[in-house]
Amino acid sequence: MTERLPCKSEGCKATILPATAAKTGGYCMPCVQEQERRKRQAYIEEHRKTVNLYEGLTAPVEILKLKHTPRRHDPLIQYVPYPLKKETIYAALSVEEAEEMLDYALQLLAAGDLETSRDILSSLVCYRNHNIAAALSKLMECGMLHPGVLYKDAAAPIRDRLLQRLDWDDDHRNSMLLALSWIGDEQVLRRFREWRENQPSWAERLYVAPETYAREAGWELTPGGERRDLIHSLAYSIAKREQPSNSEMEGVARFLNPADSNCPWCGGKLDTLMDVDTAHPSLSYLELAEERLQIQTCVRCGCYGVIYMEYDSSGVPGWSRFNRIPDYLQDLSPEEYDGEYLAAGPLLTLSSQPHSAFYTTEWGLSQHNSQIGGHPSWVQDAEYPACPCCAKSMVFIGQLDWEDFEEYGEGIYYMFLCQEDRLTATVYQQS
């Protein structure tokens, strides 16, 4: 057996072959690698430059273009981040500046940079509801059919081209049905009705019936063939602040409070996701008789299926008789949950001004998604639960995105209402 030598590093218990020792000066390989890592790190720290690419830039369009420019990671350069997020800058653009961004997106599209172009177009449409109808024929020519929300303001000729292409374009039918759903006008409605009566041959290759696509755009085709909206266009963000405030908004809307009653499934406390004054503009369109709308769920069990709550005439919610325990619900122990999200509750504030109804439509963009109203940001397919009383789809009221307030949080709780039957529901999705 060859004699092994101890590694020279203090505290290292490894032994090495004499041949290794000769090569490394008496150190084991992990120690050599660690020394090299430290040397590299020291070099980086000594030579790293701080670069502020935004220095001197004041025009929002230039700042946005820079923000959309992909940057290769270089350990020797530390970039100073711009203090405002893209969505904030987009929302504050003038119409002329938005048009400039649109032109820029079309230039990138023509040059083949579809990804950046798509990000800019989505930002214009979602964050500020900018009308890009005039650019849609270019988008179609360049094959940019996704995301469908880009097509929501399309004029009749674009809509008709999409409808014609459905017959033959097997590769893009999914995207085109989504785009048509976002258009959702009388003509689209008529075709959805026809397809429900007489299924077109191409529909066999879809996973769902053509008219089901409408739900991705926030509406459905009723049994009577009408359009029924499942969302409301007024949208107010729910943002986390640094400090709890005593402002007047606090009484108007509260989020993430432990409820008084327990979850019959896991035994832990139920959670009040939101408790909002129904006179606030984000809910006043509902004309609820109750003073407050409280939406409760169990955030532990609610990840595994729909949880319904029934509220009484004074708005007090209670566990619904319609809840069915999911077969696959694990044996949950509420003690294992730290309830960190509850600490964020007092910091969450409803904004005083509405933002674009489409603000959170594209889940993959950089915005925070928590809001009351507007379109949901579906992580997976649209999932409007059916009311267990009247069987109608429940309407979307708001959503809380765990990523917005927990460091390692993920997943979104979506909240729904059936006003006639005094029922609320929650659905959870994550990537």
State the residues that interact with Zn ion by CB under 5 A: 7, 9, 12, 14, 28, 31, 263, 265-266, 298, 300-301, 387, 389-390, 418, 421
User: For residue 72, what are its two tokens?
Assistant: 């290769």
Contact criterion met (CB below 8 Å) for 180 and 188: yes
Which of 298, 293, 291, 255 is closest to 273 using CA atoms? 255
Determine how β-strand 219-221 pairs with β-strand 395-401.
Answer: unpaired
Q: How far is the CB of 329 from Zn ion (least distance, A)?
A: 8
Contact criterion met (CB below 8 Å) for 253 and 274: yes
**Which residue, 28 or 124, is less far from Zn ion as judged by CB?**
28
Q: How far is the CB of 416 from Zn ion (least distance, A)?
A: 10
Q: How far is the CB of 333 from Zn ion (least distance, A)?
A: 11
**Which residue, 171 or 331, is less far from Zn ion as judged by CB?**
331
Which of 221, 275, 315, 245 is closest to 415 using CA atoms? 275
**Which residue, 91 or 389, is less far from Zn ion as judged by CB?**
389
**Which residue, 87 or 310, is less far from Zn ion as judged by CB?**
310
Determine the Cα–Cα distance for residues 291 and 314; give it in Å rounded to an integer: 7
**Which residue, 6 or 281, is less far from Zn ion as judged by CB?**
6
* Backbone φ, ψ for residue 397 (5° rounding): -110, -35
Determine the Cα–Cα distance for residues 214 and 211; give it in Å rounded to an integer: 6
**Which residue, 14 or 234, is less far from Zn ion as judged by CB?**
14
Residues 6+ apart with CB under 8 A from 298: 263, 265, 266, 268, 270, 271, 307
Q: How far is the CB of 298 from Zn ion (least distance, A)?
A: 3
User: For residue 381, what are its two tokens?
Assistant: 């397919």
**Which residue, 150 or 387, is less far from Zn ion as judged by CB?**
387
Q: How far is the CB of 403 from Zn ion (least distance, A)?
A: 22
The distance of Cα 34 from the centroid of its chain, to the nearest Å, equals 40
Orientation of helix 114-128 relative to helix 95-110, angle to 10°: 160
Q: How far is the CB of 16 from Zn ion (least distance, A)?
A: 8
Orientation of helix 186-197 relative to helix 156-168, angle to 10°: 20
Determine the Cα–Cα distance for residues 167 and 172; give it in Å rounded to an integer: 11
Q: How far is the CB of 30 from Zn ion (least distance, A)?
A: 6
Determine the Cα–Cα distance for residues 60 and 90; give it in Å rounded to an integer: 8
Q: How far is the CB of 249 from Zn ion (least distance, A)?
A: 30
Contact criterion met (CB below 8 Å) for 282 and 236: yes
**Which residue, 136 or 306, is less far from Zn ion as judged by CB?**
306
**Which residue, 7 or 150, is less far from Zn ion as judged by CB?**
7
Q: How far is the CB of 361 from Zn ion (least distance, A)?
A: 26
